[in-house]
């Protein structure tokens, strides 16, 4: 019996964001936008969804006079990502 | 990246994860400039010291003053790098702390050189083996691993060969340990 893939992670942009945040200590909004090659509006919506689920922590501050949004993965996010990858492995091995 | 939440196949999911890993893994490889800078500076200092020793100059160690501008340049490059590459991976962080600890150990050794009868060359070479080899392991780059082993061998040989030949061994160690891997990293990055 296959475990269901986490629908929150099983989406292109959210999965890309989580894969990126798994490897870095933290990342600024502009860096994530640049690496994932998406629009600011779309990224903002997806970050809100991940943050609401407790998968990422979003910190808003200022760098000089410019607003700065920094994201980092939470323990819950790490667990969700690991579970997602393990389920993905099951799908691939049993194909 | 597509704006919608369309369902992914397992193949697409794997491709996204792999792509994001590849995008961040190049960070440490960008550090070739530090290997080239310190390799050149230390090789030059060692060769100059050897020449001054051969010329019976009373204070051959004066050449090591060259490391002061090298440190300033390193701090400037690190500051510039940090502004350009704001994202630090967990491995970047480990690597940075490892080299920082190495710098503190070298500084302490130089400060207490008298306590080890100024046998600094072999000790510094032996200590240099550690971060060089581990950097190679972290980025899976064999020339740095070989460089680390070369530091260890040259350090041990320095104990055996003694004073006039130690700077030559030092120059050889940094050439194999820093300069060659630095050049190869640069070639690999540009390829």
Q: Give pLDDT, residue B3.
A: 45
pLDDT tens digits for B88-134? 788 888 888 999 999 999 999 999 988 888 889 999 999 999 999 99
Q: Give pLDDT, residue B5.
A: 53
Average pLDDT of the segment spanning B65-87: 87
Average pLDDT of the segment spanning B186-190: 81
Residue of B nearest to A11 (CA): B5
Give the Å distances, CA to CA, from A16 to A37, A43, A56, B14, B143.
10, 11, 13, 10, 32
> Which among B4, B24, B91 is the top mutation candidate for probing chain A, defined by the most A β-carbons within 10 Å of its own β-carbon?
B24
Q: Percentage of chain B with pLDDT > 70? A: 92
B77–chain A nearest CA distance, Å: 20
Which residue of B20, B87, B90 is in closest CB contact with A16?
A: B20
Name the burial class of residue B115, with classes exposed (0-12), middle (13-18) and buried (19+) by CB atoms within 10 angstroms of its CB.
exposed
pLDDT tens digits for A52-70? 999 999 999 988 888 889 9
The ipTM (two decimal places) reads: 0.85
Q: Torsions phi, psi of B120, nearest 5?
A: -75, -40
- Residue B100, token pair as written in the block: 């920082």
Mean pLDDT of chain A: 91
- The CATH architecture assigned to A12-93 reads Orthogonal Bundle (1.10)
> From the CB of residue B178, how many other CB atoms can be counted at a distance below 10 Å?
27
Which residue of A19, A31, A37 is in closest CB contact with B86?
A: A31
Residue of B52, B178, B60 lying closest to B118 (CA atoms): B60
Instruction: Give the whole-angstrom CA distance, residue B138 versus residue A8.
Output: 32
**DSSP string of chain B?**
--SS-----HHHHHHHHHHHHHHHHTTGGGGHHHHHHHHHHHHHHHHHHHHHHHTT-S-GGGGGGGHHHHHHHHHHHHHHHHHH----BHHHHHHHHHHHHHHHHHHHHHHTGGGGTT-HHHHHHHHHHHHHHHHHHHTT-HHHHHHHHHHHHHHHHHHHH-GGGHHHHHHHHHIIIIIHHHHHHHHHHH-
Please report which confidence band the pLDDT of residue B48 belongs to, taking 50, 70 and 90 as the band edges.
very high
Residue A78 sits at the chain B interface (C-beta within 8 Å): no
Residue-range domain boundaries for chain B: 30-190
Residue-range domain boundaries for chain A: 12-93
Which residue of A10, A12, A91 is in closest CB contact with B2?
A: A12
Question: Could you identify the residue written with the tokens 């972290």?
Answer: B138
Name the burial class of residue B154, with classes exposed (0-12), middle (13-18) and buried (19+) by CB atoms within 10 angstroms of its CB.
buried
pLDDT tens digits for B11-37? 889 899 988 888 776 666 678 899 999
């Amino acid at each position: 019996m296959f475990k269901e893939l986490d629908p929150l992670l099983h989406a292109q942009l959210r999965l890309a964001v989580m894969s990126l945040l798994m490897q870095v200590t933290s990342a600024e909004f502009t860096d994530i936008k640049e690496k994932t090659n998406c629009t600011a509006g779309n990224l903002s919506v997806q970050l809100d969804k991940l943050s609401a689920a407790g998968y990422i922590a979003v910190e808003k501050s200022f760098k000089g006079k410019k607003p700065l949004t920094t994201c980092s993965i939470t323990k819950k996010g790490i667990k969700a990502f690991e579970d997602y990858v393990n389920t993905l492995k099951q799908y691939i091995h049993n194909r | 990246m597509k704006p919608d939440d369309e369902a992914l196949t397992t193949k697409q999911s794997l491709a996204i994860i792999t792509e994001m890993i590849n995008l961040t893994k190049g960070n440490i490889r960008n550090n070739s400039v530090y290997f080239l800078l310190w390799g050149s500076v230390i090789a030059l200092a060692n060769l100059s010291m050897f020449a001054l020793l051969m010329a019976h100059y009373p204070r051959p160690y004066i050449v090591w003053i060259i490391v002061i501008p090298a440190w300033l340049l390193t701090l400037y490059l690190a500051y510039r790098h940090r502004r350009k590459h704001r994202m630090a991976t967990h491995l970047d962080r480990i690597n940075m702390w490892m080299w920082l600890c190495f710098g503190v150990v070298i500084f302490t050794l130089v400060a207490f050189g008298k306590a080890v009868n100024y046998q600094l060359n072999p000790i510094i070479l032996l200590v240099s083996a550690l971060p060089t080899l581990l950097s190679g392991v972290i980025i899976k780059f064999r020339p740095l691993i070989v460089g680390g082993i070369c530091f260890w061998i040259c350090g041990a040989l320095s104990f055996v060969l003694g004073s006039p030949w130690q700077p030559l061994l030092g120059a050889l160690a940094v050439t194999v340990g820093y300069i060659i891997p630095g050049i190869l990293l640069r070639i690999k990055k540009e390829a």
